[in-house]
């Protein structure tokens, strides 16, 4: 901190120097030591099957799903929206938007058959591939299979920033002071549901690390 204070002291503009010093002092008061676990709510979940309408929470299909707007009104093919927690008003094409649900909002997931592959005539084995946000997929399975699953194998993103994955492996900004605890918070919510699914008498959970 001494080096930072020395650099701040070299700022000639007194107003700017005072503002930066105030921000540094504020950050120092927030700093925590030891094992820090910060509860973190992940980004919103896009609901592509839900139409965009007045009053709905939406995000741009090509933008960050965490940048949420509230639809104020729809006229023709355009929607006037207000950015959440801000006074910013913007107008978008309705087909550029997707309805979103924030973490904790009630979502009633369902399985929508997309395709099927038949087994051999003499085989009674069957498998189901569920393509969904893993948190909501686990919630869906909990309705029917709580306490009935013998083994769960998961390979979550480890926030390493690697780019050779088919899914996002950069869950939290690399410069975020709480990037590790936010990752732990993300995993905690999913592991709690996974525990409810597992058969308590004969269970196995496997995590694959990189």
**So what's the pLDDT on residue 190?**
85
- Per-residue confidence at 52, pLDDT binned at 50, 70, 90? very high
Do residues 90 and 69 touch, judged by C-beta distance below 8 A? yes
Size of the chain in residues: 210
Evaluated on CA atoms 175, 177, 180, 185, the torsion sign reads: negative
pLDDT digits 0-9 by tens, 119-152: 777 877 777 888 777 777 888 888 888 999 999 8
Q: Which pLDDT does position 89 carry in this prediction?
A: 92
Indicate the SS3 state at residue 24: helix
> With the CA atoms of 132, 134, 139 and 145 taken in that order, what torsion angle do they form, in degrees rounded to the nearest 10?
90
Q: Is pLDDT at 6 greater than 50 in this prediction? A: yes
- Give the pLDDT score at 58: 93
Per the structure block, which two tokens stand in for 86?
Answer: 């801000």
Distances (CA, A) of 192 to 3, 51, 123, 160, 198: 44, 32, 34, 23, 10
Angle in degrees, CA 193, 197, 200, rounded to 5: 115
Judge contact between 109 and 140, C-beta under 8 A.
Answer: yes
pTM higher than the cut 0.75: no
What is the rounded distance in angstroms from the CA atom of residue 74 to the CA atom of residue 92?
10
Report CA torsion sign: 197, 181, 106, 76: negative
Instruction: Inform me whether the pLDDT recorded for 165 exceeds 70.
Output: no
Residue 185's pLDDT band, with cuts at 50, 70 and 90, is confident
Q: Is residue 73 very low, low, confident or very high in pLDDT (cuts 50, 70, 90)?
A: very high
């Amino acid at each position: 901190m001494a080096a930072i204070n020395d650099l701040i002291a070299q700022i000639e503009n007194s107003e700017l120097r005072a503002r930066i010093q105030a921000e540094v002092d504020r950050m120092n008061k927030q700093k925590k030591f030891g094992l820090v676990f910060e509860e973190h709510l992940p980004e919103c979940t896009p609901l592509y099957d839900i139409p965009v309408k007045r009053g709905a929470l939406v995000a741009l299909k090509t933008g960050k799903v965490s940048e949420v707007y509230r639809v104020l009104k729809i006229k023709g093919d355009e929607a006037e929206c207000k950015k959440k927690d801000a006074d910013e008003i913007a107008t978008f094409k309705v087909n550029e938007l997707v309805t979103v649900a924030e973490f904790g909002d009630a979502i009633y997931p369902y399985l929508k058959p997309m395709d099927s592959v038949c087994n051999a005539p003499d085989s009674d084995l069957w498998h189901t591939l569920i393509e969904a946000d893993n948190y909501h997929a686990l919630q869906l399975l909990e309705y029917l299979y709580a306490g009935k699953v013998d083994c769960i194998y998961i390979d979550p993103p480890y926030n390493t920033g690697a780019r050779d994955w088919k899914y996002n492996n950069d869950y939290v900004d690399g410069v975020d002071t709480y990037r590790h605890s936010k990752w732990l918070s993300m995993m905690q919510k999913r592991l709690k549901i996974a525990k409810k699914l597992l058969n308590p008498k004969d269970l196995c959970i496997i995590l694959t690390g990189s």
